Amino acid sequence: MKRKVTSKGKQAAKAFEGAMGQGRMAEITTDVFRRGKVALDSVVWEMGQLLVEAIMYMEREELAGPDYAPSDPTISKGGTQAGSVYVGDRKLRVRHPRLRGPEGEIELASYAQLKQRGGFSEELLEKSLRGLSGRRYDETIGDAAAAFGVARSTVSRHIVEATAKKLQEFKERDLSAIVPFAVLLDTIHRGGSAFIVALGVDVNGEKHPLGFWEGATENAEICEELFGDLERRGLKLTHRVLFVVDGGKGIIKALRDRFGKKLLLQRCTIHKSRNIQRHLPKKYRAEARAWFRRAIDCVQLNDAKRELNSLEKWLRRINSSAADSLLEALNDVVTIHRLRMPELLRKTLHSTNAIESMFSTVRDCEMNIKRFRGSAMRQRWLGAVLLHCEKGFNKVKGHKDIAAVLRTIDGDQCEEKMAA
């Protein structure tokens, strides 16, 4: 029986060499020895189990030599042994060839690489992040004849391991190489907890999820803990950084306590517009929204303030609370105008849309989670998803104008010092 199986493996290796060419097979084999499963995944799925076994037989031939001309008399060939490898997102049965040396069993390097579970956990995680429930994984892997041993409990364990690894990577990564131009702050509520999340835009226009901090509610203390965590990991939060927030009182208080009059704060214009409209009867809401939008679209600071002051007077006649809501944020919604920010960059930083878009991805990725089982699970998933989001980030629109805006900031602060 052993000879029959061994003969079958040798025939498979020869068949692939004939079909693909000996040179190409040697190239694939070398790459798999060097990089393991990563290299194999790109070529193996169509060829499947047969190619995996062929590669292992080819390695055995390289180590021990052919039967008629052994290269090392101290190494002897055995039969085969049942085993399993991870290929793509499937766990496959294989028969791996055996070798024995003076000190006992010799494990093939290719088999050792292919049976590692790390890559399998990563791929399961990627599928889960795309909305695939771990409870339904056994329905999606398909081709049951080629796959085996993927139980719900196994999938859950792999996901826990992978998300824990991602969370550690996210919370421990060094931020000292990031020079922030803007930091967007917002809160996402998950499983009964509030997570204040920071999204950074560096001086080159690249976006980076910087960190998060969990609390029962959004408050100044939790926000300060987040700032402390970012600074411990090397991020420099200075008076040159523009902070974009949705209007949460806790976040704004923490920022004002930290930076005082030097704070560069841009209130989200979309949130402020909605807040104003909530105070108004329905028949006035469309006009108030259009008027506010017209003010924000102004290029010059004086034009924007003139429109907003006119809007405040109009609102005062209809609803004083709506007018007060506008008045308390009047200076903070035009910070982008005060910095003479060009149009494309204003479109990015006049609101918290960039971080809201990231939160949308978080919700999509977690849509199959029915219940969070404690803080550890909430944090594991959030850290993993934020890293997943980062892969799809593009530079912000208008990033070429960031250097000019920074010069404006430096010039304005220099004038303030001279005036003081």
> What is the chain's pLDDT, residue by residue, as a tens digit (420 residues)?
445 555 655 655 555 555 445 555 556 555 555 555 554 454 444 455 666 777 778 778 888 887 777 778 888 888 888 888 776 566 777 888 888 888 888 888 878 877 776 655 666 566 665 554 454 544 444 433 334 445 556 556 667 777 888 888 999 999 999 999 999 999 998 878 899 999 999 999 999 999 999 998 888 999 999 999 999 999 999 999 999 999 888 999 999 999 998 899 999 999 999 999 999 999 999 999 999 999 999 999 999 999 999 999 999 999 999 999 999 999 999 999 999 999 999 999 999 999 999 988 888 777 766 677 788 888 888 888 898 888 889 999 999 999 999 999 888 766 665 555
Are residues 265 and 413 both part of a single domain? Answer: yes
Whether the Cβ atoms of residue 235 and residue 221 lie closer than 8 Å to each other: no
On whether both 100 and 158 belong to a single domain, the answer is: no
**Among 172, 193, 209, which residue terminates a domain?**
172
Q: Are strands 90-101 and 76-87 parallel, antiparallel or unpaired?
A: antiparallel
0.75 cut: is pTM over it?
no
pLDDT of amino acid 121? 61
What's residue 50's pLDDT? 67
Identify whether residues 103 and 213 lie together within a single domain: no
Q: How many domains does the chain have?
A: 3
Handedness of CA 218, 219, 221, 223 (dihedral sign): positive
Residue 26 to residues 20, 54, 117, 119, Cα–Cα distance (Å): 10, 12, 25, 24
Q: Are 93 and 133 in contact (CB under 8 A)?
A: no
Q: Are residues 243 and 328 in the same domain?
A: yes
* Rounded Cα–Cα distance for residues 391 and 377 (Å): 22
Is 347 in the same domain as 383?
yes
User: What's the one-letter identity of residue 55?
Assistant: I
Residues 251, 360 within the same domain: yes
Claim to verify: residue 371 and residue 275 sit in the same structural domain: yes
Do 190 and 76 fall into the same domain?
no
Spatial contact of 95 and 83, defined as CB atoms under 8 Å apart: yes
Same domain, 144 and 181: no
Nearest by Cα to 409 from 112, 181, 158: 181
**What is the Cβ-side half-sphere exposure of residue 226, based on CA atoms within 13 angstroms?**
28
Same domain, 131 and 33: no
Residue 195 lies in domain: 177-419
Identify whether the C-beta of residue 280 lies closer than 8 Å to the C-beta of residue 296. Answer: no
Exposure letters 300-317 (e unless 16+ CB within 10 A, then b) = eeeebbebbeebbeebee
Q: From CA 261, how far away is CA 238, in angstroms rounded?
A: 13
| Whether 74 and 147 share a structural domain | no
Residues 244 and 339 in one domain: yes
Write down which residue in 116, 141, 161 finishes a domain: 116
Contact 188, 176 (CB under 8 A): no
Range 61-76 burial, b when 16+ CB lie within 10 A, else e: bebbeeeeeeeeeebe
Closest CA to 159 of 102, 117, 192, 190: 117
Final residue of a domain: which of 172, 189, 214?
Answer: 172
